[in-house]
Chains A and B, each alone.
Chain A
Amino acid sequence: MHEYDVIVVGAGGAGLRAAIAAQEAGADVAMVTKLHPVRSHTGAAEGGINAALREGDDWELHAYDTMKGSDYLADAPAAEALTQESPKEAIQLEHWGMAFSREDDGTVSQRPFGGLSFPRTTYAGAETGHHLLHTLYEQVVKRGIEVFDEWYVLNLAVSDEDDPADRRCHGVVAYETATGNVDAFTARDGVILATGGLGQVYDHTTNAVANTGDGVAMAYRAGVPAEDMEMIQFHPTTLPSTGVLISEGVRGEGGILYNDDGERFMFENGYANNDGELASRDVVSRAELTEVNEGRGIEDEYVHLDMRHLGEERIVDRLENILHLAEDFEGVDGLEEPMPVKPGQHYAMGGIETDEYGQTCVDGLYAVGECACASVHGANRLGGNALPELTVFGKRAGTHAAGGDTEEPRVTVGWTDDSEDGDVDSPVTLGEPWTTEAVADGGAAAKTGEAVVERTLERERERVERLLERDEGTQHAEIRASVQHTMTKNVNVFREEDALKEALVDIRAARERYRDVYVADPSSTYNTDLIQTIETRNLLDIAEVITMGALAREEFRGAHWRKKHQERKDDEWLKHTMVSWSDGAPELWYKPVVLEGQNQTYEPKERSY
């Protein structure tokens, strides 16, 4: 048993920043991560960090762009916190030595990105995330913050009150990959989930194999609502064969999209007459797929992204990494030929419901970064807004958890008087096949925090043992592949009712098969088979919530396109879809979007680019 003030789960950008902030606020901090910090997927982020640094730009413009980009599904207090604090965080990174790209006068460079009214994206070549991750990890090393690397968190130790708002998180239970040891980490002040993305619910994704949404699934089963989960961002430029990301920076620097007829379709076919390739990501993704579906795709699958005209010098200076990716993973020389690209799953805009300090409705439980929904991205995240989200909210949550000075949050969490019930017409029974398992795994009988942690430890040891002992059945890889396949086929860029229902049926079938899942590897040394089996369980819950939200939201907003509902319905849908885990089944409800900002109300307008 390990005891700390604050436990941070996950050690990507958000987790590292949270740990630093918590320690600076006086807490004894430990990080628990299933990888090693430098292996985190933050390292794969390419584009940049939006920050209003220069004359002519300010946080209010950035907030306006963010709210508009979100298609008015973001909460203004969160979007304003992001845009007000990102300049300070960007310069903080610079003070920690981050090697940003530079202007001639030695200041940090900025470039245009999709959906931005000012070129405010700071960057380090096309490797911004790699630089950010390593810079933050260096600061964690400098401060001597303890890191338990290759420890996989199995569950949260949460007391089991009836109402999630009465529950408290006392720690986590984790599995040490190298030894198979299951142990508990008690958090006196708070647990901060920073577990990143969930792209592995899809089979064509820019996300790492490790991005299995563990944090979202654990918080969801502990009673925290999952918010706006249907809002999955598809990035318009991923390599067709692998899903590897080609940064928006390519279009930011002037890269052009062409169809098979050699048309610059963003303009010529009227998708975005003003901004063309630099329209926001949802617009470009749909445009590309429309071209392909209407027979103007190349090999009926992709379009071309051309950057040759930018010239070798500029490409090497600002996009060098893209040349390597195109060469290594698609066999294409970006200096000599256009790169094939198509949309791929990229980012979860929804996630664990939090306020603008990362707090959830469960006392002592926080979430930050991609696993959280504060919500700043709404229905469409602007390129360059994910990295400031990591630092700004990582810092805010770390400080808050450690008892540092913070103000009263304006975003409310959990069920309130403004919430309303929802209903969805599902073709199958949803949720958990084993209703006997406790909801919040602390156990109602556990009265003290220590007892909650002990009880969770005991349950998780039993769970691991049960999985290891089972002698035959279905392997996780088969179940995982079936979920990934149905999500890619049915819950993609274009969404139709029948297909969404088909996905729910498939997910239910996968759930049934998971009852017989078995771990073939009996070893307690580095048993990745066991870990992937548990991850697959998390993917099942997440896939179901995404699909449920997509079926419920009968409108067209941002990334969420419904065939029979081709308009944004502000009268009815200026609200967040919330899914809570209730007695083993998902329960749908809604809460209103907060459009009132500090100095203005963000009135929904038509989004044109």
Chain B
Amino acid sequence: MSTQRQQPETETESTETETAQDRRLEKKRQRAAERERARVEAEERAAADAERYHLKVFRYDPEVEGKQEPRFDDFHVPYEPGMTVLDALIYARDQFDASLTFRHSCRQAICGSDALFVNGSQRLGCQTQLSDLDQPVRIEPLPHSEVVKDLVVDMEHFYDQMEAVEPYFQTENRPEGELEEQRQSRENREKIKKSTRCIWCGACMSSCNIAAGDNEYLGPAAINKAYRFAMDEREGENVKQRRLEIIEQEHGVWRCQTQFSCTEVCPKDIPLTEHIQELKREAVKSNLKFW
């Protein structure tokens, strides 16, 4: 389900209009190139200021000449205590280059949209203090995903993997009354608590060597989502069996080589590798029952 990337219906605009529009946009692109030169000059001046933080930001736009080949742009941003990578990017965008493109929204580590590759590691831009980083701060899109533009990557594959594990509650034991709760022990909630913290940022998937080499591997986030349900006592044993079958498929838990890179980069401190290992053990135990 979910996202449709449908192509526009057949356009009826005449070729003439298109050409005029193209010409105007072309002119605009030329102007953009002029501004670009001015920006580089301003940057060179700013670089002399020792109070500024030096960012090297990945740029790519399939539609704009000069950005069609990936490159890095330098930005020098005035530093204030408490400033995060996201703050620095917003400053650079609003003050230097309005076309600098990145996803962000909540700026408090809950929407998961600003996962980036910062100085060689997957991190949330909003949660990463500039002062913790060596200069120049190198900011790139998440590796192992297709870059749409600048720091924006295509998340479709990640979402598809999340959905492949049937990521919704299924139970055999729903109580009769609409005001009657399903009981869950405190211990059981505690057990699944960390797994529920996932914000779908994609950092783990991006850091995983196995996912990089095997496009069908469910990956740490999706397996963690499966863990969240498989370990929830309210779903019941039969549903749990079904869940174990899903994660035991060819590109499931057994692909994990316990390199811990997902656990290292998770911005919500979810013990992803542990969860994957625990599901492996559960899968073995459940298979033993049948032998």
A interface, CB within 8 angstroms of B:
1-2, 35-36, 38-41, 43-44, 53, 87-88, 91-92, 94-97, 99-108, 125, 127, 130-131, 134-135, 138-139, 141-142, 144-149, 176, 178-179, 181, 183, 208-210, 241-242, 244-245, 324-325, 328-331, 465, 468-469, 471-472, 475-477, 481, 519-529
Contact = CB atoms under 8 A, between A and B. Distances in A.
B61 A525 contact: yes
Contacts of A92: 178
Nearest to B64: A523
Contact of B25 (A1, A141, A522): A522
Interface in B78-130: 82, 93-95, 97-99, 101-102, 104-113, 127
Nearest to B200: A38
Given A97-B234, A107-B181, A145 B1 contact: yes
B199 A526 contact: no
A44 B99 contact: no
A127 B99 contact: no
A35 B1 contact: no
Contact of B1 (A100, A146, A468, A528): A146
Contact of B159 (A36, A135, A519): A36
Q: Which of B6, B93, B171, B196 has the largest count of A CB atoms less than 10 A from its CB?
A: B196
B268 to A, nearest CB: 8
Given A53-B179, A208-B107, A209-B107, A141 B196 contact: no
A520 B98 contact: yes
Contacts of B82: 241-242, 329-331
> Is chain B's binding surface mostly helix, strand, loop or mixed?
loop
B31 A471 contact: yes
B8 interface: yes
B240 interface: no
A95 B235 CA distance: 10
Contacts of B7: 181
Contacts of B229: 97
B2 interface: yes
A481 B180 CA distance: 50
Contacts of B183: 105-107
B138 to A, nearest CB: 21
Nearest to A206: B108
B24 A469 contact: yes
A288 B88 CA distance: 31
Interface stretch (B45-53, B184-192, B245-253, B277-285): B184-192
Contacts of A525: 61-63, 148-149
Nearest to A470: B28
Q: Which of B98, B175, B199 has the largest count of A CB atoms less than 10 A from its CB?
A: B98
A244 B126 CA distance: 11
B108 A44 contact: yes
B106 A181 contact: no
Contacts of B1: 141, 144-147
B27 interface: yes
Contact of B113 (A39, A134, A241): A39
Contact of A88 (B95, B104, B108, B178): B178
Interface string B6-26: 111100000000000100110
B168 interface: yes
12 contacts: A43-B111, A125-B193, A139-B168, A141-B2, A181-B8, A209-B104, A328-B109, A329-B108, A520-B32, A520-B98, A522-B64, A528-B102
Given A88-B178, A99-B193, A131-B196, A41 B105 contact: yes
B289 interface: no
Contacts of A106: 181, 183-186
A99 B1 CA distance: 25
A96 B193 contact: no
Nearest to B98: A520
B250 to A, nearest CB: 23
B242 interface: no
A242 B234 CA distance: 39
A36 B112 CA distance: 10
B3 interface: yes
A8 to B, nearest CB: 14
B111 A35 contact: yes
B4 A468 contact: no
A339 to B, nearest CB: 14
Contact of A41 (B5, B64, B111, B175): B111
